[in-house]
Structure 1
């Protein structure tokens, strides 16, 4: 259960990076002024998405959510007037790409909220306690080999630790790293620097 959720979060991070990268390219279909503004907003948005995956305190996480919401609204408002006044296939493609960008963030957030239910933890804990009690009851007459009976509780404890760690995407040892988002940022920065040395100032480092 925890591993499936972990794999899903990694897949959604990749999908989000693809959505942002695709929309960055489709922004060239917009009028020049709107294209530059949209690309700049997408770079700022990409920075916030990378920060989302990093280990932060609750106050910082709340700040990231607020900035992300503002940038999403700004991105949508940037293309909305164009979509209303110029209803062509190319503009529709750009609008569809922006919709994918906004939706991908929602899918990621939902997957991070989707944790192992407390009832499942309660059931696993009850099973572990019962199993350890049975092992302890069976070991009462085997004092010489008592160390062997400690293996089972140790394995149970390690298993619980791994499950809890995998089910905590922001903290712990096993985390979701924004590898695809970071790679995308490097590629876009390289493209911007190649096209215009001064354009690199549009993006803020995470």
Structure 2
């Protein structure tokens, strides 16, 4: 988790530049080592270096594809859960009107406070997220206490059963969304494996060029920039609320507008 937190603290643009700069240094070092080795052992043949480089590039492409699929699936899950939670909160707010007074008004006021907590701002601070989760759990307890008291008074009420069902779904979706956003991240070992393959592949590309004494700097730069861009995108997709690619909070924002409009009309 500490490595993940360190990675999250680095801005995406800085991360991309670090990738590109490090890759260029590694490629240049590989070239110089290859050139030095060829000059030291001119009688030796090149061997299957080109085949090994091709295999490493294929392996890197495979790892990038697999990792991109994992990141995309997690991103889609977070987006789907945001919509599902907005629908569930909206249903719970509406069904709270089934309750007798003063429970109906108390529940709707609590839900009106709860809904804004579920909107994730752009680039939030960790403490801000934790405070929102803590208050959300407190509101769960208050809403459930109200529902429990009503259930003891009218245990056979079908309308109360509908409200409890939607409230239970809202509570469950909260935990599911927190898990998907905070804990269901790409394993750091996957990033380490990807970066290790990235380093070794570029080093071998430079080494192979050094053995032959021929290289194309523009081609190497384009390859490094493209690979750096793809890896930066993977990191961006894995960040729940940071970077350029974030989950839209519009479903929850629309819900807030509806709740506020109904509150004003009352």
Task: Verify same fold: TM over 0.5.
Answer: yes
Aligned-pair distance for 1:89?
Answer: 1.6
Higher mean C-alpha displacement, 65-74 vs 7-16 = 65-74
- Of structures 1 and 2, the larger Rg is shown by 2
Higher relative contact order, chain-length normalized (CA < 8 Å, sep 6+): 2
1:154 maps onto 2:225 in alignment: yes
Aligned-pair distance for 1:18?
Answer: 0.3
| 8 Å contact kept, 1:20–1:42 | yes
SS of 2:128's equivalent in the other structure is helix
Aligned-pair distance for 1:134?
Answer: 2.3
1:117 maps onto 2:187 in alignment: yes
| 1:142 aligned residue | 214
Higher mean C-alpha displacement, 15-24 vs 128-137 = 128-137
Question: RMSD across aligned C-alpha pairs, in angstroms?
Answer: 1.4
| 1:170 aligned residue | 241
Q: 1:148 to 1:54 in 2, by over 3 A?
A: closer
| 1:20 aligned residue | 89
Matches within 5 A, 1:1-206: 1-50=70-119, 52-87=120-155, 88-112=157-181, 113-140=183-210, 141-143=213-215, 145-194=216-265, 196=266
| 2:37 aligned residue | none
| 8 Å contact kept, 2:110–2:143 | yes
| 8 Å contact kept, 1:38–1:75 | yes
SS of 2:118's equivalent in the other structure is helix
Structure 2: stretches of 5+ with no match in the other structure: 1-69
SS of 2:80's equivalent in the other structure is helix
Aligned-pair distance for 1:90?
Answer: 1.4
Return structure 1 stretches of 4+ with deviation > 3 angstroms: none
Higher mean C-alpha displacement, 160-169 vs 119-128 = 119-128
Aligned-pair distance for 1:54?
Answer: 4.1
| 2:64 aligned residue | none
CA–CA separation in structure 2 for the residues paired with 1:40 and 1:131: 58
Aligned-pair distance for 1:19?
Answer: 0.3
Structure 1: stretches of 5+ with no match in the other structure: 197-206
CA–CA separation in structure 1 for the residues paired with 2:154 and 2:238: 46
**TM-score normalised to structure 2 length:** 0.69
| 8 Å contact kept, 2:123–2:243 | no
> How many residues of Structure 1 are paired with residues of Structure 2 in the alignment?
193
